[in-house]
Amino acid sequence: MSEEIKVPVMADCFAQGKQPEILFWVGSAGSFDDRAKKISRAFVKILNKANVDFAVLGTEESCTGDIAKRAGNEFLFQMQAVTNIEVLNAYEVKRIVTCDPHSFNCIKNEYPSLGGKYEVLHHTQFIDELIKGGRLKVEGNTYKGKRITFHDPCYLGRSNSEYDAPRNVLSNTNADIIEMKRNKQTALCCGAGGAQMFKEPEKGDMDINVLRTEDALETKPNIIATGCPYCNTMLTDGVKNKEKEAEIEVLDIAELIANS
Amino acid sequence: MKYIPNILFLLLFIGAIVFFATNVKKLIRNINLGLDVDRTDQKKVRISNVIRIALGQSKMVTRPIAGFLHIIVYVGFILINLELLEIIIDGVFGTHRVFFPLGGLYNYLIGSFEVLAFLVLVTVIIFWIRRNALNIKRFATLKGWSKKDGNNILYFEIVLMLLFLTMNAADYQLQVLGAEHYAKADGVAGAFPISSWLIHPLLENLSQGTLIILERTVWWLHIVGILTFLNYLYYSKHLHILLAFPNVYFANLNPNGQLDNLEAVTKEVQLMMDPDADPYAAPEENTEEEPAKFGASDVTDLNWVQLLNAYTCTECGRCTSSCPANLTGKQLSPRKIMMDTRDRLEEVGKNIDANNGEFVDDGKQLLGDYITKEELWACTTCNACVEVCPVEISPLSIIMDMRRYLVMEESAAPTELNNMMSNIENNGAPWPYNQMDRLNWVNE
């Protein structure tokens, strides 16, 4: 494919006696979903550009169990969690960054009482840190003057009260950031959470992702920015449903920054 | 004979308090039917939440119109109740405006109570219009007792405020006429900025005898009304005026996104993962514990804070009006989850009362008889309902506990979710991809 990206694997680092600064938790979506894989690659481009010493678990990574937990299967969740924690602890991981707010919430809040205690960051928080620390320079020409609206992922926003980091990062694109009527605490869910991504919705008048896309379209955006692979899929489908895919792109913040 | 009114008042007052206390006892007993959960940590944070969210109503004003109106009624309610203290003392001892010796301060207080009573009256009328005439969805969808209950409270307040103002107007006119028992040697007791123009003009031509009868009648109706209101609370959504405070205090302080990890499961998973454990070991003897039930199918499987939540819910419907599932026409309504939980808890409580303190199986449960699977599976766990609740109720925690029961006790997940879960079990991802391919994205 396009540019080469460098993705060190934890097992190799360990063999060489190196301890990376941060572990990039790719997540199942980031590893296997065609759309989300692009987000993973864009985020790695940023990490490479900023010379971040990172690694991924690669084939040693497994599903966090978050979706199983939200579906009600606490057994499966805890089996997954214990397995992952064993691997993470063996590598003495201290800091984790992920592009998936569901993994972020799960590892940050639900792993500690099972023995997995790490500092966990959402990629927008880490990018914010890189920019503020002067490690990453964003030229900010690509999207100058474009209209971007940001959709808060539930598991970053309401679930963990992080509303600023994604907005701080977005401001570096020099685009006009336009808020939807429902934003931050009152943001409407994209419809994928709570394991809904993996099932058909119950009977109703319309699909949640279409309603949320309507919220976004009201801001007359060129781009809908997301911070979650599932939100990205849901809103991309919503934009197609409204036949606006020729005019409006749905992009992750990592992609917007990698392109800027 | 002279003391008959005093005795009558005292009996009425004590009777009302005793009846209320009996119901409070029942309320506490019912809440304690829930499982134990420890919410005694971080006392300072809890107290500051009570001050900010319950006393300060910080979450009410996120919807400014309803929030502002609610604060008027709330402040009015609390302050006018100060006057209740004088009314009770006057009732017991047969005195007249016993706090009058406070002088200027007294007039200032009575005057403010009148202004507040008037503001409450106007606000409550606006509330009635919102509830019945404006077709606001979260009110329009209420049916049966809930609809009546909401209006009953408003009627109560209108009547109480009018009685209060009439009582003041009649009292004032009696003082002006110099009636025995009412008139003070050193001027008029109280200031009446509202009743003097709203009600007083209607009374000016009445005789002293008629005025006394009127004043006594409205005085009695007012205090009886208040005692009735107090006892109505237990049967009403209006319990929130008392329970909002403990409910906020005991609320979950973890991030909204954090679901508890079931300890019973942790133990079993540890056993499964322990290479030294003997898989055929007989259960230890002397363990009288019943095997743990995973998740909740009835109210007694919920924890006591969830049951307190159910009694605290005032059915305002902000949760339902923020719920993405409900907004798109699904059956799920977080408010209904709370109302169902309370209704079932009341049913269980009555069952216990009717059977000498023992619950006798009635063949019903919260799951199925009140809350359907379809409602539970429609939830996206987005936390909008939890975030918006003015008194920190979590409908989501009940939904999650019931999903856990469906999946772990009944294996009753939707088929697609079962597929997703067996994928996670077999290859560590919700999709049927091989774990060995997890790094392929790097080279694509």
Instruction: Read off the CATH number of the domain in which A235 is found.
Output: 3.40.50
**Residue A62 to residue A32: CA distance in whole angstroms:** 12
Task: Tell whether A166 and A218 lie within a shared domain.
Answer: yes
**What percentage of chain B reaches a pLDDT higher than 90?**
70
Q: Residue A168 above 60 pLDDT?
A: yes
| Residue of B59, B383, B408, B422 to mutate for A, most A C-beta atoms under 10 A | B383
> Based on the domain organization, do A143 and A126 belong to the same domain?
no
Question: Rounded to whole angstroms, how far apart are CA atoms B65 and B193?
Answer: 27
Of A75, A101, A130, the position where a domain reaches its end is: A130
Residue A172 lies in a domain: yes
Considering only the beta carbons, identify the residue of B62, B383, B424 that sits closest to A154: B383
Whether A101 and A205 share a structural domain: no
Q: Which residue has the higher pLDDT, B1 or B54?
A: B54
Nearest to A72 among B257, B332, B413 (CB): B413
Q: Do residue A63 and residue B261 have CB atoms under 8 angstroms apart? A: no
d(CA B94, CA B7): 10
DSSP secondary structure string for all residues of B368-407: HHTB-HHHHHT-----HHHHH-TT---HHHHHHHHHHIII
Element (H, E) at A121: strand A119-122
Average pLDDT over residues B275-291: 65
- Alpha-carbon distance values, B59 to B56, B281, B365 (Å): 9, 53, 33
Do A198 and B330 lie within an 8 Å CB cutoff? no
Mutation site, A70, A160, A189, A209, interface B, largest B CB count within 10 A: A189
Q: Which tokens hold the place of A249?
A: 């792109």
At residue A2, does pLDDT exceed 60? Answer: no
Question: Per-residue pLDDT averaged across B411-421, rounded?
Answer: 94
Residue A184, pLDDT > 70, answer: yes
Cβ A76–B322 below 8 Å, yes or no? no
Residue of A33, A38, A48, A74 for testing the chain B interface, max B β-carbons within 10 Å: A74
**One domain, residues A55 and A82:** yes
Q: Encoding tokens for residue A62?
A: 């497994």
Local structure of B188: helix, strand or coil: coil
Judge whether residue B270 has pLDDT over 90.
no
**What are the beta bridge partners of residue A252?**
A226
* A160 and A98 co-located in one domain: no
Domain final residue pick, A72, A106, A130: A130
What SS3 state is found at A70? helix
pLDDT recorded at residue A194: 94
Model confidence at B281: pLDDT above 80: no
Q: Which residues of A touch B257 (CB under 8 A)?
A: 105, 109, 154-155, 158-160
Calculate how close chain B gets to A200, using CA atoms only, in Å.
Answer: 8
Q: Under an 8 A CB cutoff, do A72 and B407 touch? A: yes
Position A46 in a domain: yes
**pLDDT band at A26; cut points 50, 70, 90:** very high
Tell which of A130, A162, A185 closes a domain. A130
Q: What is the pLDDT of residue B284?
A: 60
pLDDT for B365 beyond 70: yes
- Of the pLDDT bands very low, low, confident and very high (cuts 50, 70, 90), residue B191 is confident
pLDDT of residue A66: 97
Residue A154 within any structural domain of the chain: yes
Residue of A212, A210, A202, A204 whose CA lies nearest to A240:
A210
The answer on A126 and A157 residing in a single domain is no
Residue B87 pLDDT: 87
Confidence label for B188 from pLDDT (cuts 50, 70 and 90): confident
For the ranges A41-50, B95-104, B152-161, B162-171, the lowest mean pLDDT is seen at B95-104
* CA–CA gap between residue B340 and residue B334 (Å, rounded): 10
Interatomic CA distance for residues B437 and B444, integer angstroms: 12
- Model ipTM? 0.95
Q: Which of A225, A230, A231 is nearest to A248 (CA)?
A: A225
- Chain A residues whose CB is inside 8 A of the B373 CB are none
Residues A31 and A126 grouped into a single domain:
yes
Structural domain containing residue A25: 10-130
The domain total for chain A is 2
Whether A3 is covered by a domain: the verdict is no
Distance in angstroms (rounded) separating the CA atoms of residues B283 and B366: 31
Residue A80 sits at the chain B interface (C-beta within 8 Å)? yes
Q: Are the C-beta atoms of A36 and A29 separated by less than 8 Å?
A: yes
Is pLDDT above 70 for B381? yes
Smallest CA–CA separation between B414 and chain A, in Å?
8
Written as six digits, the tokens of B52 are 């900010």
Gap from A141 CA to chain B (nearest CA, Å): 27
Residue A190 reports pLDDT greater than 80:
yes
Contact: A109, B257; criterion CB under 8 Å: yes
Look over chain B and give the mean of its residue pLDDT values, rounded to a whole number: 91
One-character DSSP codes across A157-206: TTTT---HHHHHHHHTTTPEE---SS-GGGPPP-S-TTTGGGSPPPS-SS
Joined tokens for residue A93:
């991981």
Cross-chain CB nearest to B413 (options A71, A194, A196): A71
Residue from B339, B370, B155 nearest B239 by CA? B339
* One-character DSSP codes across B93-158: H--SSTTGGGTHHHHHHHHHHHHHHHHHHHHHHHHHHHHHTS--HHHHT--HHHHHHHHHHHHHHH
Contacts of A4 (CB under 8 A, 6+ apart): none
CA dist., res. B326 & res. A96, Å (int): 36
Select from B268, B270, B380 the Cβ nearest to the Cβ of A191.
B380
pLDDT at residue A74 greater than cutoff 80: yes
Q: Is residue A5 part of a domain?
A: no
For B79-83, B218-222, B256-260, B401-405, which range has the lowest pLDDT when averaged over its residues?
Answer: B79-83
Q: Are both A73 and A25 inside the same structural domain?
A: yes
On whether residue A1 sits in a domain, the answer given is no
Same domain, A96 and A185: no
> What pLDDT score was predicted for residue A1?
46
Q: Is the residue at A213 inside a domain?
A: yes
Give the burial string for B216-225 (b: 16+ CB within 10 Å, else e).
Answer: eebbbbbbeb
* Helices and strands, counts by H and E, chain B: 20, 0
Q: By the CB < 8 Å criterion, does A10 face chain B? A: no
pLDDT over threshold 80, residue B288 = no
Asked if A143 and A252 sit in the same domain, the reply is yes
Q: Which residue of B has its CA nearest to A193?
A: B380
- CA A2 vs CA A32, A33, A39, B88, B283: distances in Å: 19, 18, 14, 83, 60
Q: Would the pLDDT of B35 be above 70? A: yes
Instruction: Tell me the two tokens of residue B310.
Output: 């159910």
Length of chain B, in residues: 444
Q: Tell me if A2 is assigned to some domain.
A: no
Sign, CA torsion A168/A170/A174/A175: negative
Same domain, yes or no, for A164 and A121? no
What are the respective helix, strand and coil percentages of chain A, to the nearest 5? 45, 10, 40
Q: Is A254 on the interface with B (CB under 8 A)?
A: no
Q: Strands A22-25, A147-150: parallel, antiparallel or unpaired by DSSP?
A: unpaired
Do A122 and A144 lie in one domain? The reply is no
pLDDT confidence of residue B286: 58
**Helix, strand or coil for residue B35?**
strand
